[in-house]
Amino acid sequence: MDAPEHPQIYLITPPSFDLDAFPDLMARVLDRVEVACLRLTMATSDADQIARAADALREVAHARDIALVVSDHVALAERLGLDGVHLSDAAKSVRAARKALPEDTIVGSFCGTSRHDGMSAGEAGADYISFGPLTANGLGDGSEVDHELFQWWSEVIEIPVVAEGGVTAAVAEALAPRVDFFGIGEEIWSTEDPAAALAELAAIFR
């Protein structure tokens, strides 16, 4: 993914959803707010379930010229004709994924709060680096990325950077000048109107 002039939305699916209803909800969200990339991130490790979800969301995303990447499943990304893979183990799998997938495939790397891991992933061939969580309750174990990391990255590193995990209005406003993409997921899916919630957030950093 190329670095945009202004932060773009990197939309993340909820970890589980009703496949009969969710593609229509996703379509409404994508028709309301401009999204640069969609990431399929599911709690299940069942390849058939992930494949069915990917097939349904690929149709919705590609109809709107939006790239669809899948978390961690390199083999599925290639077999299902997806646009890329998002790796959650920092730099460990980047080089192997880069070799296994076609040259134009997106390979992204989530590097938590570690500048070192981000640099290592970039050197291994990652197309973008994702850092997070942005707030202590944004993801997992209560850790929080130092927001100054994004300032340093924007000044020193050319690889696009994604900020994800607890994107609040205040965080979006503070980090907008320093990041290329905001990874947004549970922030909107937990609301009654995800499309409106995403539009409200997007208005802050655009």
**CA of 56: how far to CAs of 24, 107, 124, 194, in Å?**
10, 21, 31, 19
Per the structure, the count of domains in the chain is 1
Domain span at 82: 8-205
Any domain includes 117:
yes
pLDDT of the residue at 32: 98
Record the pTM. 0.95
Any domain includes 80:
yes
Cis peptide upstream of residue 177 (ω within 30 degrees of 0): no
Predicted confidence (pLDDT) per residue in 37-82, tens digit: 999 999 999 999 999 999 999 999 999 999 999 999 999 999 999 9
Any domain includes 44:
yes
Any domain includes 137:
yes
pLDDT of 19 over the 80 cut: yes
Q: How far apart are CA 6 and CA 21, in angstroms?
A: 32
What's the pLDDT band for 141 if we cut at 50, 70, 90? Answer: low
Any domain includes 58:
yes
Question: Mean pLDDT across the stretch 5-28?
Answer: 96
Any domain includes 171:
yes
Predicted confidence (pLDDT) per residue in 148-197, tens digit: 999 999 999 999 999 999 999 999 999 999 999 999 999 999 999 999 99
Looking only at the bridges linking them, the beta strands covering 161-164 and 8-12 are unpaired
Rounded to an integer, what is the distance from CA 3 to the centroid of its chain? 14
The CATH number given to whatever domain includes residue 158 is 3.20.20.70
Cβ neighbours around 98 below 10 Å, total: 17
pLDDT of the residue at 137: 66
pLDDT of the residue at 63: 98
Q: What percent of the chain has pLDDT over 90?
A: 92
pLDDT of the residue at 142: 66
Any domain includes 3:
no
